[in-house]
Amino acid sequence: MTPIRTILIEDQELLRNVLVKTLEMNTAFELLGDCADGNAGRALCLRLHPDLVVTDIDMPELDGISMAQELLKALPSVRVLALTNLKDPFTINRLREVGIHGYVEKDQPLDILEEAMQRVAGGENYFTAIVQQVSSQLAKDPVAFSKILSRREQDVIRLVVEGLTSKEIAKALKLHPRSIETHRYRIMKKLELKNVVELIAYAEKHGIRKA
């Protein structure tokens, strides 16, 4: 059986080292490389074309979901598994929308991660119970942020929470600053909010957090 060509992207050095040793001892996988941030991970994947990418979500330089979105466009056959501590509705909704194939919390046993890697690499989707639970809650909630706000508006809120100006948000999203101002106006009107303080409070309530 051909080993699964795998790249690991994880910014916590201790965890990354443990997983590297685990993968090196497992003949089902061939570890092509590992790195600690999204930009380096993207470059490594585009150069080596792995079968499977195991990535953290909350990382410096480029978050794991944005990186995965770029990889899935550039390398349609690549399979992506998220390994993260983040369990908030915004993160879970975002990774499902992007098309990430699996999700495992970092507090799960190692054998769960290995099972998820095998199944995702084999063409299946693998999501732990928290994903199903949050997805079900969002589907049942008539005023869930995912039903009120567009994908772009959610991205704008996330960057506002990070403290970016409209000009900086425009650069990050590759849009004109006037478009960002329009998005901000529409967001405030849809949510019936008066100022940035109320917007940040809304974001915190709904799990729309810093990447």
The CATH number that applies at residue 116 is: 3.40.50.2300
The CATH number that applies at residue 177 is: 1.10.10.10
- 74 and 13 belong to one structural domain: yes
**41-62 pLDDT, tens per residue?**
999 999 999 999 999 998 877 8
Q: Percent of the chain, pLDDT > 70?
A: 99
Between CA 208 and CA 88 the distance in angstroms is: 8
**The pLDDT of residue 113:** 95
**90-109 pLDDT, tens per residue?**
888 888 889 999 999 999 99
Domain boundary among 108, 138, 168: 138
**The pLDDT of residue 37:** 93
Quote the mean pLDDT of the chain.
91
- Residue position matching structure tokens 């590992």: 34
**The pLDDT of residue 44:** 97
Task: Provide the residue range defining the domain that includes 19.
Answer: 4-138
Phi, psi of 104 (to 5 degrees): -135, 130
- 16 and 111 belong to one structural domain: yes
* pTM (whole model) above 0.75: yes
Q: What is the mean pLDDT of residues 82-88?
A: 89
For residue 210, pLDDT over 80 is answered with no
Q: Percent of the chain, pLDDT > 90?
A: 66
- 17 and 92 belong to one structural domain: yes
- Residue 184's CB is within 10 A of a number of other CB atoms, namely 18
Residue 28 within a domain: yes
**108-136 pLDDT, tens per residue?**
999 999 999 999 999 999 999 888 888 88
Assign 156 a pLDDT band (cuts: 50, 70, 90): very high
- 56 and 85 belong to one structural domain: yes
**13-45 pLDDT, tens per residue?**
999 999 999 999 999 999 999 999 999 999 999
Which residues lie below 8 Å from residue 194, measured CB to CB, with a gap of 6+?
188
How many domains does the chain contain in total?
A: 2
Q: Report yes or no: 31 and 3 within 8 Å, Cβ to Cβ.
A: no
